[in-house]
Every structure is written in structure tokens, then in C-alpha cells.
Amino acid sequence: MSQVGTTEVIDGIGILTIDYPPVNALSVHTRKALDEGFRQFAADDSVKAIVLICAGRTFVAGADISEFGKAPEGPNLLEVFDIIESGSKPVVAAIHGTALGGGYELALVCHYRIAVPSAKVGLPEVALGLLPGAGGTQRLPRIVGIPAALDLITGGAPVPAKKALSLGMIDALAEEGKLRDDAIAFARTVVAEGGQLLRVRDRQDKVEPYRGQSEIYADYLKKNARAFRGFKAPFNIVKAIEAAAELPFDQGIARERELFQELLTSTESAAQRYYFFAEREGAKVPDLPKDTAALPVKSVGVIGAGTMGGGITMNFLNAGIPVTLVEMSQAALDRGVGVIRKNYENTAAKGRMTAEQVEQRMALITPLLGLEALNNVDLVIEAVFEEMGIKKDVFGKLDGIAKPGAILASNTSFLDLDEIASATSRPASVIGLHFFSPANVMRLLEIVRGAKTSDAVLATALKIAKTIAKVPVVSRVGPGFIANRVMAPRSYAASALVLEGPTPQDIDKALFDYGFAMGPFAMSDLVGLDVIGRGSNERTLNGDLVKLGRLGQKQNGGFYDYDEKRQPSPSPVAAQVIADFAKAKGVENKGPQSAEAIVARLLYPVVNEGAKVLEEGVAIRASDIDVACILGYNWPVYTGGPMFWADTVGLPKVVEGLRAMGIEPAKLLVDKAAAGGSFTRG
């Protein structure tokens, strides 16, 4: 037996334990262990039934994603599955942690599934740009029916054990902590009752009623058009599920294979699989010693109960960590706490929280006036106005108030963290925790490491990110850190390009079709042109529209006109303002441009800024830039983010494109292009 699998037989029940840390993925080693283990039990007459269980934190978490695209080795997954399902001895899958993707497909070829209440099961392949390629699209519909299968597989969310039981995705719940014993007892009962082999593949009752109804799939795609836009996987998933209703099992499996292979070789899936690992890389800081102990954070103080302070506070309340929230006036404090309550109540009204949970979270806030209230918290996060003078004043005072060892964090978007830290006598305790708005929703957390930030403080920030379910990306100090900085050139390019011929709608459509939720002009109208231009003394295009009373969606339209349902249409007034502005600036109208040219004009400069951020050591790795743009700016994940995308475009082409725009490419970009290198591959 390989080291990954261990077998034992207890009173006629064969137990195969898989142990392949960290998540028992179906690597060649795991497949071998399954193959050997099941063959061994098949040949052992003393074994009447089999329990398949895993060691460590979880049941099998899926295929080994790192093996995709490599030459297949060892036993084939489908053949191993066939040995299990077609065997003559009942098999019980005993599930703890997560049975996901190929892991849940493994459970589906077992004849019974039992799980502890804390377990989750599901088919999340869609997030990797894939479909369940080991029978999941054919077996799950046979258990839950077509409509539920469509939602479960295109949605990909893991299903908690209790719900899974009610859907039939598992057959029984085990007692928490007693999975092994309960699974053995379950197997014994199966044997005692005749050893029935329940094979999901043989079931017809749940799919038969849907046969011949092709409109189900067309309607489903139409209903979800917005969510599926740009992705490939949901479309293939729907086709595969249709095959489950229409075709005999073996043909359905063949169709699933075909559709899976198509996805596996797509750029979209390559990008999404890259992104899966990129998200996890962010927490790894090469020069941070692995054994650096994090400081305990049992209480938090937040300064400023405005837009950001409120959202930041909610993250900690959600994690059960008490927050002292500090403001300048009672009115501001009341307003801030009121917004938090309202947010929770809205969630409760949607049924996603109970009234009791709302009160439990609210009870964790201590709203107070004055920084003195922060004398005993472990971590302070400052979210006051974005002005160096105010921030330094706050940090200077905090220095005299906070207990020794407390972490002093700033949520500044653009200011120099080292200068803020210099207002204290303990710059080693100062760090940037840059949340994105709305802070309780957006998953990105830029952790800004100051010149003097200590390792322990950085390690603590990384741990906090995990505690509050954020994806961390570490940045050095620099204007705009990572996401805001690299995305800024997109806005500049849009403002320049609109003077040269392409209309706001041409530019917005090109970016929308690329995969952004909306283009820059639609976005400006949504945010408000008065808000965007605030603080600038120069004559700007936004400013000219504002002078005419055009503030965007909220007043008189902006770059677009809007009807009473806020539907946009091209604005002749805006077109005239743009033409006048271009004339005043001496910019010649060169007429329309192709979507490809528009995308290059707006996004190559982002890649270039990304290269500079890397060159300067502000970001640790290219994938951190991609994660920051995808999570911070909704950059379409199926392109992999700006740096991965640049690699797919080809770096020499990006360099040439930038030069044609009159932009000097970053040295790193030029060097990589010349050397045939890439940002994200190898």
C-alpha cells in the first residue's frame, strides 16, 4: 500500500484512509492509493463493505489543480471511479471538511454518503473555468433533478451538510467528531440489510421528467445572461446537464468529457486556475520568516465612523471581535452606528441573518467620543479624512494613548504611510490596512508595509486578513499602493481618447465587452461628475459638464442622457461639450477606432504601471497586481488580470502598442519582452 492510503479491516468492514496533505487532492498518489485500496478490498473475502475516509482537515478537495495541463500519470480518475462504483461491495464515503469537485464526484461514485454537520459538499469547478469532469454533471442531476443541478453546478457554492441532506446530496449525518465510528456503523447496517448497492448512475426518476425540454436550458441561460457574460464554463455546464436528461449515462459521460476538455484548453480556464493560486500567493511574503509569531488581536479600535470606518468595523463584528468605534461628534457617531445597524437589518430582511444575530453583532460595538477610549485595544484602524495633517495629529495622539505593542493601522488610500508613522515614537507598530469600499463587502485588503513596520506586525496583519475573510496583497509604501495606482492610467487614457474621436459609448462598450461591469464614462455618471472632479482647479471635461448642471445620473445626465428608469442614451449636449473641449485643447478628431484599439489604449498603460510597481518593488509579484485589480476593480477574472492578460497578448505587442501611443514602456516590460519572458508564467 502506498503511504497515501492505509487499509484496515474491522469486523468485516474495510476502511481505506486517504492521507495526502494539505487537502487530499486527487493527485497521482491519491489515485494510486484509491486504486490499490479498492482492489485489495475487492479481493479480500472477509470484507463485506467499505468505508472511504480521509485524514487531516478535509475529505478530498478535488482534482489536483496543479496537475492540469501536465501529461497524465498513473491510474486514470474515471477508471478508478469505475472500480469503486461497479464493485460488488457497498462503499460508504465518510465526509468531513469539504468534499469538493472531484472529491464530491468521488463521493458520488460511492454507494452511500455520510457527513458530519460541519462538512460541506459541492461542485465548485465553475470558479476554475471548468465543469465537473468526473461524472458530476451526470450524477448530481440524477439526485437533485435538473433545475437544482443547474443552480448548484453553475453557482458552485459548497452546500452545508444539513442542506445537502435535505437535497439528497448526502444520505445521513454523523455525529461531529464521531465520523469514523458512525460510518462503520452505517456500513454494518447496509450489510445487515442485504448490502444493497445504490448506484447513482442507474437512477432515472429525477431526470426523466425533464426529457425533451430544451427550453429549460435556453431560459436558464437567458435568466443568468448577466452573471455568465464572458465566462465559458457556465455554457458548457448547461450543455452537460442537458445531456444528463437526454442521453444514456455512458453517452452523457462522454459528452461531459468532451465539454470538459474544451474548457481545460481555454484561455478563460487557464486564467481562472492561475487566479486560484494567485489569491493564495498573496499571503506569502518571501522575506518574512515563516515562524514569525502573530500578536494576539482580541479587541479593535476604529477611528472615524464614516463610509470606510463603518464597513471596516462590520468585518470585525462579523468575526466576533469587539470594536470600540471613535468619532469626533455624537452626531457622527450616531450616524455611523445607525448605518451599521441598517446594513445588518437589510441583510436580516433578506433572510441571510436572524434578528438575534443582528443584536449579537451590534452588542460588540462600543461607540465613544475621544481617542482616549483606545487605551486598551490590540489594534487601532484609523479611517479619518484623507489629509496628512489630520492623520499625523491622530497618530501623534494615539502614540500617547495606545498600550505598548498595540498595532496602529491607517486606511489611507494615497498618503505616505512612513510619514504618518513618523508622527509616533513606534513606527515599527504602524502598518497600512487599505480596505476597499464597501469595506464589509470587498474582499481585497492591501497590507501596506512601511519602511519600519516590524515582521510581527506584518504577520499579524496577514493573520487578521484571514480572520476577517479578506484576500491580502502586500504593498510597499508608494503613491496609491497597488490597485489604485495601476488602474489610474485607465481613467487618464479614457479622458484623452474621448477627445480624439471615439465617443463615450464607443469607449464604454469596448470595456464592457472586454468584461468590466461598466465603462469609465458610465461609471463617472454613476459616481457623480461633481464628486470626481472635486479639488481640481484646472479646466476639465468633467468640470465643463458640471458647469452646465450635468452632474451625472443624479442630475441632468452627464456623459449620457438618462430616462426616468435611468436608462442611458447618447447625449448630443455632452458630444458638443467634448468637441468644444477638444478644440480648446487643440486635439484633432481622428474619427472612430476599433474596440481592440480602444482596449489597448486604456489597458496597456495599466500593464505598464503594473510593470513599474513590480520594478520598484512596491508589489512582490505580478500575480498580486492581478489579484488587486480583479478584487479591487472588478477586472474580469477570466482574463487573469492585467499582467496575466499582457502575457496572453504577448509582451512585444504591448511594448510596441505603448510606444505607438507615445508612452515610454517600463524597463522591466521592455526587458521581459526582449528576452521572450512573461510576468506570470514560470
Q: Catalytic residues, which ones? A: 105, 125
CB of 61 to ligand 3HC, least distance (A): 3
**Exposed e or buried b per residue across 557-575, where buried means at least 16 C-beta atoms within 10 angstroms of its C-beta:** bbbbbbeeeeebeebeebe
Residue 306 interacts with, from ligand 3HC, ligand NAI, none (CB under 5-8 Å by kind): ligand NAI
Nearer to ligand NAI by C-beta: 182 or 327? 327
Helix (H, G, I), strand (E, B), or coil: what is residue 171? coil
CB of 393 to ligand NAI, least distance (A): 7
Angle, alpha carbons 526-530-533 (nearest 5°)? 105
Q: For residues 504 and 521, give the distance between their C-alpha atoms in angstroms, rounded to a whole number.
A: 6
Farthest CA pair distance, the chain:
91
Binding site for ligand NAI (CB under 6 A): 303-309, 326-328, 332, 383-386, 390, 394, 411-413, 435-437
**Exposed e or buried b per residue across 453-473, where buried means at least 16 C-beta atoms within 10 angstroms of its C-beta:** bbebbbbbbbbbbebbebbbb
Nearer to ligand NAI by C-beta: 29 or 485? 485
CB of 62 to ligand 3HC, least distance (A): 3
Q: For residues 50 and 111, give the distance between their C-alpha atoms in angstroms, rounded to a whole number.
A: 10
CB of 252 to ligand 3HC, least distance (A): 15
Residue 66 interacts with, from ligand NAI, ligand 3HC, none (CB under 5-8 Å by kind): ligand 3HC
Residue 394 interacts with, from ligand 3HC, ligand NAI, none (CB under 5-8 Å by kind): ligand NAI
CB of 25 to ligand 3HC, least distance (A): 4
Task: Extract the C-alpha cell encoding 495.
Answer: 479622458
Q: Is the distance from CB of 9 to CB of 47 less than 8 angstroms?
A: yes
Q: For residues 65 and 129, give the distance between their C-alpha atoms in angstroms, rounded to a whole number.
A: 12
Nearer to ligand NAI by C-beta: 94 or 421? 421
Cα–Cα distances (Å) from 130 to 99, 145, 607, in that order, read 17, 21, 27
Nearer to ligand 3HC by C-beta: 22 or 682? 22
Nearer to ligand 3HC by C-beta: 28 or 65? 65
Binding site for ligand 3HC (CB under 6 A): 22-23, 25, 58, 61-66, 98, 100-102, 105, 124-125, 128, 130, 132-134, 136, 277, 280
Q: For residues 282 and 384, give the distance between their C-alpha atoms in angstroms, rounded to a whole number.
A: 27
Residue 383 interacts with, from ligand NAI, ligand 3HC, none (CB under 5-8 Å by kind): ligand NAI
Neighbours of 230 (CB within 10 A): 15
CB of 163 to ligand 3HC, least distance (A): 17
Beta strands in 25-176 (DSSP E): 49-54, 91-95, 98-100, 112-115, 120-122, 159-160, 172-173
Nearer to ligand 3HC by C-beta: 64 or 506? 64
Task: Extract the C-alpha cell encoding 110.
Answer: 460511492
Residue 412 interacts with, from ligand 3HC, ligand NAI, none (CB under 5-8 Å by kind): ligand NAI
Residue 204 interacts with, from ligand 3HC, ligand NAI, none (CB under 5-8 Å by kind): none
- Closest residue (Cβ) to ligand NAI? 306
Nearer to ligand 3HC by C-beta: 349 or 469? 469
Closest CA to 523 of 513, 535, 532: 532
Nearer to ligand 3HC by C-beta: 261 or 330? 261
Residue 305 interacts with, from ligand 3HC, ligand NAI, none (CB under 5-8 Å by kind): ligand NAI
CB of 165 to ligand 3HC, least distance (A): 20
What sign for the dihedral angle of Cα 273, 276, 279, 280? negative
Residue 22 interacts with, from ligand 3HC, ligand NAI, none (CB under 5-8 Å by kind): ligand 3HC
Cα–Cα distances (Å) from 309 to 93, 304, 319, 434, 474, in that order, read 46, 5, 16, 11, 21
CB of 162 to ligand 3HC, least distance (A): 18
Q: For residues 123 and 140, give the distance between their C-alpha atoms in angstroms, rounded to a whole number.
A: 9
